[in-house]
Amino acid sequence: MESFYQDVLRRIKKASEIIKLPEQIEEVILNPQRIIQLSLTLKRDNGNIETYKAYRVQHNDAPGPFKGGIRFHADTDLDEVSALATLMSLKNSVVNLPYGGAKGGIGVDPRSLSEAELERLSREYVNAIHNVIGPRKDIPAPDVNTNGQIMAWMADQYSLLNNNYLPGVFTGKPMNFGGSFGRDIATSFGGIVVLEEFLKKEKKLIKKQNSEITIAIQGAGNAGANAARILSKKGYKIIAISDSKGGILNKNGLKIEAILDEYQEEKRKDSSVTITESGGEFQKITNKELLELTVDILIPAALENQINNENAKKIKTKIVLELANGPVTFDANEALFENKVTVLPGILANAGGVVGSYFEWVQNNSGDRWSKEDVLGKIETKMKEAFADLDLVKTKLKTDYHTAAFASSILKLQEAMKTRGRI
């Protein structure tokens, strides 16, 4: 299987060909502006010294400051971070945010660290990159295995290094440190806005009431769990959900609120807990089995490359909503399109998170504080506008949503670079 980064580059090349993008401009978009590779040292609680690889890739800042998350994961490497930084540039463009794209990460399993070790490593990362980030340079946010507390440590370290209170350099922070109402559910909320806009447009695709529409969700982290809760409250039937260790299935519908309440409470006590240990009526399934269930809507909300050459032909759903970054590979997207499966692309579908981050950043810069209703209302408006724009591009280009999203974003990046005089 080709790498995640190669997969992203293939998407860019296909979209560039469709819109007849000049080769020189395509080369600019294919290559990040800056790649930072680091070795971070951490003194463990037992006195041992360990070294971790870390990265920050800044892809393109023609539209505005770099923006993108930081992930802590044992498999994080330069290829993955470069792919994600590139996707962030395109994602920010597709929802018309004044940002370029970036991404960062540390190759570490945070579950192997104590809270004190995790804080020291987080602050050490900021020590290493503080010269290239800032409220008007590069604004990181949470991603896989990072959260508001980690962002708070990082924002505090940046403020200490600059001898100034600068919470706007990080988003996704706790409410008592410059955070924004609604940011915690923004990714899931924005994705569901996109899903329901699509369902309204394509009424013939699923002729069912909400309570009859079956949904499977891969991933019970922030994006997956919040999506499950929101969809459940809207009356949809969640029949399966999983975490990294396995999943649960009840074809009559899971009691998702009770299951997630128990799972998340136990997870806070012991990070090794799995959702399959929750109480309730269900059968245990693997992540592979979850992806291949017969459902109306499949929501991959975990990691990249989950639907690929090996399982694309086994996918039995009408709609795939990408809440993860790059969960459907290039070749799998082509196969699903041929099989009349609609893939709502992550660079739009999971952009609610960065839209929420944008509004947090705006509030930090202005010193204002908006209500949750105001923030979610603004996210909803932004996501609806972006879907409508993308739908027009898809119709004009006579292609799938994925390719249309990449094409639309590339054209916007091209215009930003022209305006800046870079091309």
Q: What is the pLDDT of residues 133-156, one digit of tens each?
A: 999 999 999 998 999 999 999 999
pLDDT in tens, 69-86: 999 999 999 999 999 999
The structural domains of the chain, with segments of one domain joined by +, span 26-178, 185-349
Provide the CATH number for the domain formed by 26-178 in this structure: 3.40.50.10860
Mean of the pLDDT values across residues 233-239?
A: 97
- Band of the pLDDT at 205, cuts 50, 70, 90? confident
Q: Per residue in 2-47, pLDDT tens?
A: 799 999 999 999 999 999 999 999 999 999 999 999 999 999 999 9
Instruction: Kindly report, residue by residue over 275-314, the tens digit of the pLDDT.
Output: 999 988 999 999 999 999 999 999 999 988 999 999 999 9
Judge whether residue 1 has pLDDT over 70: no
pLDDT in the model for residue 102: 98
CATH topology match: 26-178 vs 185-349: yes
CA distances from 228 to 165, 214, 318, 347 (A): 37, 12, 18, 20
Residue tagged active-site, from 67, 103, 173, 267: 103
Contact predicate 150/122, CB 8 Å: yes
What would the mean pLDDT of 201-221 be, rounded to a whole number? 93
Reported pTM: 0.94
Grouping H, G, I as helix, E, B as strand and the rest as coil, residue 105 is strand
Q: What is the pLDDT of residue 271?
A: 83
What confidence score (pLDDT) does residue 303 get?
Answer: 86
Q: pLDDT digit string (tens) for 387-401?
A: 999 999 999 999 999
**Mean pLDDT calculated for residue range 338-355:** 96
Only one residue has tokens 């979209």, namely 15
Which of 164, 162, 170, 321 minimizes the C-alpha distance to 238?
Answer: 321
Active-site annotation holds for 103: yes
Residues 6+ apart with CB under 8 A from 314: 291, 292
Superfamily of the domain at 185-349: NAD(P)-binding Rossmann-like Domain (3.40.50.720)
